[in-house]
């Protein structure tokens, strides 16, 4: 199974994801790590939720 970057949506094995790692500390995931689909993200004062139409919801 391929693993995708949750910040840029490309394969983790391809390229350098240093900028993505920096963004990951400040922002919720934007892409599903299982299928690279763009997720619906909602940010609240207490956290965030990110929902993939195929793989469900993540919270943080």
Residue 13 within a domain: no
Q: Sign of torsion, CA 15 2 56 25?
A: negative
Residue 2 within a domain: no
Count of domains observed in the chain: 1
Residue 11 within a domain: no
Residue 33: give the domain boundaries. 18-59
Residue 47 within a domain: yes
What pTM did the predictor assign? Answer: 0.87
Per residue in 5-59, pLDDT (tens digit) is: 999 999 999 989 999 999 998 999 999 999 999 999 999 999 999 999 999 998 9
Check residue 2 and give its pLDDT. Answer: 63
Residue 5 sits at the vertex; the CA angle it makes with 22 and 32, to the nearest 5 degrees, is: 120
Residue 3 within a domain: no
Asked if 41 and 47 count as a contact pair (C-beta separation under 8 A), the reply is no
- Provide the β-strand partners of residue 59: 49
Nearest-angstrom CA–CA distance, 36 and 30: 9
């Amino acid at each position: 199974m391929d693993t995708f970057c949750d910040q840029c949506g490309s394969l983790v094995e391809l390229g350098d994801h240093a900028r993505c790692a920096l963004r990951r500390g400040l922002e919720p995931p934007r892409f599903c790590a299982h299928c690279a689909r763009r997720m619906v993200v909602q940010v609240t004062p207490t956290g965030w939720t990110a929902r993939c139409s195929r793989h469900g919801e993540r919270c943080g």
